[in-house]
């Protein structure tokens, strides 16, 4: 395979990066967001980012998993506080796979409807109907999606209105009660085919990995800029060999994570569901482990100021920590890979 981006993919990446720069918070004082972010959400819709996994018949602009991870990386790099992965990637893919009505899919594509996936209380898997959970990336959502364990159908339920106190100030989480009220948002389609569910999980894991890559790059860039300008003992801190080694190791980790995330995005559409999920779990495991290491390295390179409210470094750390936990950290992914590798294939 040719691992280079096409001209069209590079142009898309640059365009989304410019938009993300405009939509991301300028300082920690802008977080957490105080409103649903309707205007910014419509900007994503007008660029076609909300319909990237929806059919053209429903107003979508379907693209491959590679474009999804490029978008997620750019939005993560600027810690944009909008539910792109939750609504435009995970929820939209689930509904498209289930054969939801064109009207519902169109409302997702044009931004008039936002949905969040409900995860179990540990955030490691999709939640089932009748159990408590967490609506993940719930800013401005109309409902969240759970899976009926018996029928394998999607059900829309209403999460609590008050956000939870999460570590990540760029993402909104809401509790979902076991007996949460069902919400009529339209025809959600039929049972989810197992293969489609695996591909959706693979795509979501790839997007989370890409978000982590974006955060890692932002943390590294901020650290390098700081040590280049910070003077100690009459010279820039960045001239110290120990600091250079820390930056070099973080750079290597970030580039390796990027390659794995891009490959996972490619695998979603090019490999069978089993191999695509393995690629996504591998990317998520590596990005979870090394993402935490890179943002912690950035904290160290900034020194004591990194812990102060005025700096964005701790915002990056918070986002990386939630990314790491969502749908399983590196330990959960490695266990799942071992199980998947040793399980008999049908």
Q: Specify the CATH number for the domain of residue 103.
A: 1.10.540.10
User: What mean pLDDT, rounded, does the chain reach?
Assistant: 95
How many domains does the chain divide into?
Answer: 2
Same domain? 63 vs 129: yes
Backbone angles phi, psi at 197, to 5 degrees: -65, -40
How does pLDDT run across 132-157, given as a tens digit for each residue? 999 999 999 999 999 999 999 999 99
Is residue 144 situated within a structural domain? yes
Percent of the chain at pLDDT > 70 equals 99
Same domain? 82 vs 220: no
Tokens of 100: 């939801």
Residue where one domain finishes, among candidates 126, 148, 176: 176
Confidence of residue 1 (pLDDT cuts 50, 70, 90): low
Same domain? 171 vs 232: no
Tokens of 12: 């898309």
Check if the beta carbon of residue 264 is closer than 8 Å to that of residue 282. yes
* Owning domain of residue 283: 194-342
Is residue 188 situated within a structural domain? no
Question: Residue 251: its pLDDT value, please?
Answer: 98
Same domain? 122 vs 254: no
Is residue 1 situated within a structural domain? no
CB count within 10 Å of CB 10 equals 12
Mean pLDDT for the stretch of residues 318-327: 98
Same domain? 171 vs 205: no
pLDDT at residue 42 above 80? yes
CA dist 140 and 272 (Å) reads 35
Check if the beta carbon of residue 132 is closer than 8 Å to that of residue 177. yes
Same domain? 169 vs 216: no
- Residue 208 sits at the vertex; the CA angle it makes with 158 and 40, to the nearest 5 degrees, is 60
Residue where one domain finishes, among candidates 176, 207, 241: 176
More confident residue, 345 or 256: 256
What three-state secondary structure class fits 53?
coil
Same domain? 170 vs 220: no
pLDDT at residue 237 above 90? no
Question: Residue 296: its pLDDT value, please?
Answer: 96
CB count within 10 Å of CB 2 equals 5
Asked if the peptide bond before residue 325 counts as cis, ω within 30 degrees of 0, the response is no
pTM of the model: 0.96
**Given the structure tokens 């280049």, which residue do they identify?**
228
Q: Which residues pair with 147 in a beta bridge?
A: 128, 154
Check if the beta carbon of residue 202 is closer than 8 Å to that of residue 277. yes
Question: Residue 21: its pLDDT value, please?
Answer: 97
Residue where one domain finishes, among candidates 141, 176, 211: 176
Same domain? 167 vs 205: no
Same domain? 32 vs 152: yes
Same domain? 16 vs 161: yes
Same domain? 16 vs 112: yes
Confidence of residue 225 (pLDDT cuts 50, 70, 90): very high
Same domain? 140 vs 210: no
């Amino acid at each position: 395979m040719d691992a280079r981006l096409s001209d069209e993919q590079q142009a898309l990446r640059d365009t989304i990066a410019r938009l993300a720069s405009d939509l991301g918070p300028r300082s920690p004082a802008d977080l957490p967001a105080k409103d649903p972010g309707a205007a910014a959400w419509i900007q994503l819709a007008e660029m076609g980012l909300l319909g990237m996994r929806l059919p053209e018949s429903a107003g979508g602009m379907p693209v491959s998993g590679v474009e999804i991870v490029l978008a997620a990386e750019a939005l993560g790099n600027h810690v944009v506080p909008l539910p792109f992965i939750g609504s435009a990637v995970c929820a939209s893919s689930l509904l498209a796979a289930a054969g939801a009505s064109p009207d519902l899919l169109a409302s997702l594509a044009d931004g008039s409807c936002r949905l969040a996936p409900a995860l179990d209380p540990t955030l490691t898997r999709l939640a089932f109907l009748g159990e408590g959970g967490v609506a993940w990336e719930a800013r401005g959502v109309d409902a969240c999606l759970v899976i009926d364990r018996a029928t394998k159908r999607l059900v829309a339920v209403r999460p609590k209105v008050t956000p939870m106190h999460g570590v990540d100030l760029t993402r909104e989480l809401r509790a979902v009660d076991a007996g949460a009220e069902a919400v009529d948002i339209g025809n959600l389609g039929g049972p989810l085919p197992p293969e489609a569910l695996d591909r959706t999980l693979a795509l979501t894991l790839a997007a989370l990995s890409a978000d982590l890559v974006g955060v890692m790059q932002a943390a590294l860039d901020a650290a390098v800029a700081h040590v280049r300008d910070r003077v100690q003992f009459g010279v820039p801190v960045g001239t110290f060999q120990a600091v250079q080694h820390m930056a070099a190791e973080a750079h290597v980790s970030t580039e390796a994570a990027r390659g794995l995330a891009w490959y996972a995005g490619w695998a979603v559409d090019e490999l069978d569901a089993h191999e695509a999920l393995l690629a996504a779990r591998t990317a998520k495991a590596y990005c979870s482990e090394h993402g935490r290491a890179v943002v912690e390295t950035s904290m160290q390179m900034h020194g004591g100021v990194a812990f102060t409210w005025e700096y964005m470094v701790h915002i990056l750390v918070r986002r990386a920590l939630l990314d790491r936990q969502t749908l399983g950290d590196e330990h959960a992914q490695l266990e799942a890979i071992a199980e998947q590798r040793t399980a008999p294939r049908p």
